[in-house]
Structure 1
């Protein structure tokens, strides 16, 4: 269906389980460093604890405080998917809660990323089911709005395409294009190894601090 304002597109395939698993355990901060430090969420918070999240995006754009199209998206969700909802950042009404979490768990869904509000956060914490949102409210959703499924959405300023790889931890959420994933994975692994080596140098009081003065000197020279 392609009617403007009510666009329901097929599910994008995304990365295989094997390729998704390669990103498990990689810090979002390390991936962000390798992506230019200029993308990813800033204001969405984990509502479930510290369990990380890796999965393929099924996207929904919905009217503020309305979850009709989110319910429709459940017809497409598969194991390993992440429900990514652009609710316009509105936090007056929650668009997902405990009951939708239970349905997602039954389908093997990896987690929720909601640019809007959620409720029943105690249930998310108890279940450890990954859920990132902009806000929390007890006010429930409406169910009479239009929307779009599996179209490009914006989550806290981050563009997300259907099928993107979603990686999230306590620091925030990143969306990665599937074609970019192999190169990014390789660079992120090297980045983590460098940081591990730096940590070992700190523990052994062997950090070379000369680069700080060298950088300041270079900046002074550039300003003259």
Structure 2
């Protein structure tokens, strides 16, 4: 999956979801990766954190190579829920990366390990609580407004993280490839001296818009074959 994602990006995946009519499920803004610049793509392995790493260790026993551990810590900012030992163990289990709705710690150690860890920042204290588990502790993870389960794929890069249902992934990736090809051609033409306004017949759009206020730029792009928006 990472190989298929190699020439794409989360913005392209997001646009492809909209174009294909696939629910757009993005992690809340602000998520970033340690080490910086790394990318992830793989099957979601969801867990909910309740104050102990034991749920992670249990999840690793059912992990498949390339899985992405998706950790639901409720977006908490009063504790870090994952550190170097848990990440080392994830790496040993074949996990390709972690996505945390919460915070991490041991930042220098995580950078040295090199396994991508997407989170909302670092914080020295670990949890001092131990809450009761929910029945869905290892089957579904909440992430912002979304629920992620083992039927989802995870894509992450410098722009953020997206979740896509695996049964729609081929369709989304194909659409993303088409958008990518169109945008690269548009970029080449801009560099060659042909402005995007000329490529998209923007003057014609403005004329049509004046005559028909319901005529949108997205509809115009679909008519002209452009791809700066969905």
- The normalised TM-score by structure 1 is 0.81
| Alignment deviations for residues 78-116 of structure 1 (CA, whole Å, 9 cap, x no partner) | 321111011110021111110111111111210000001
Per-residue deviation at 1:72? 2.5
What is the alpha-carbon distance in structure 2 between the residues aligned to residue 62 and residue 83 of structure 1?
12
Does the CA-based 8 Å contact 1:49-1:128 persist in structure 2?
no
What is the alpha-carbon distance in structure 1 between the residues aligned to residue 145 and residue 70 of structure 2?
13
What is the alpha-carbon distance in structure 1 between the residues aligned to residue 174 and residue 72 of structure 2?
30
Per-residue deviation at 1:191? 0.8
User: Which residue, out of 20, 24, 33, partners 2:6?
Assistant: 24
| Alignment deviations for residues 45-64 of structure 1 (CA, whole Å, 9 cap, x no partner) | 2122111101111101233x
Per-residue deviation at 1:143? 6.6
| Alignment deviations for residues 31-71 of structure 1 (CA, whole Å, 9 cap, x no partner) | 111112943122222122111101111101233x5444233
The answer to whether the aligner puts 1:102 opposite 2:88 as a matched pair is: yes
Per-residue deviation at 1:77? 2.2
What does residue 17 of structure 2 align with? 35
Q: Secondary structure of the equivalent of 2:71?
A: strand
What does residue 55 of structure 1 align with? 42
How many pairs align? 204
The alpha-carbon distance between structure 1 residues 127 and 222, as it changes in their structure 2 partners (threshold 3 A), is same
The alpha-carbon distance between structure 1 residues 185 and 191, as it changes in their structure 2 partners (threshold 3 A), is same
- The normalised TM-score by structure 2 is 0.79
The answer to whether the aligner puts 1:209 opposite 2:197 as a matched pair is: yes
Taking the TM superposition and a 5 Å limit, the aligned residue runs for 1:43-192 are 43-63=30-50, 65-142=51-128, 144-145=130-131, 146-147=133-134, 148-192=136-180
Question: Could you list the runs of 5+ residues in structure 2 that have no partner in the other structure?
Answer: 215-230
Per-residue deviation at 1:128? 2.3
Per-residue deviation at 1:219? 4.4
What does residue 213 of structure 2 align with? 222
Does the CA-based 8 Å contact 2:16-2:173 persist in structure 1?
no
The alpha-carbon distance between structure 1 residues 190 and 106, as it changes in their structure 2 partners (threshold 3 A), is same
Per-residue deviation at 1:20? 5.5
What is the alpha-carbon distance in structure 1 between the residues aligned to residue 196 and residue 123 of structure 2?
49
Query: How well do the aligned residues superpose, as a CA RMSD in angstroms?
Result: 2.2
Does the CA-based 8 Å contact 2:9-2:157 persist in structure 1?
yes
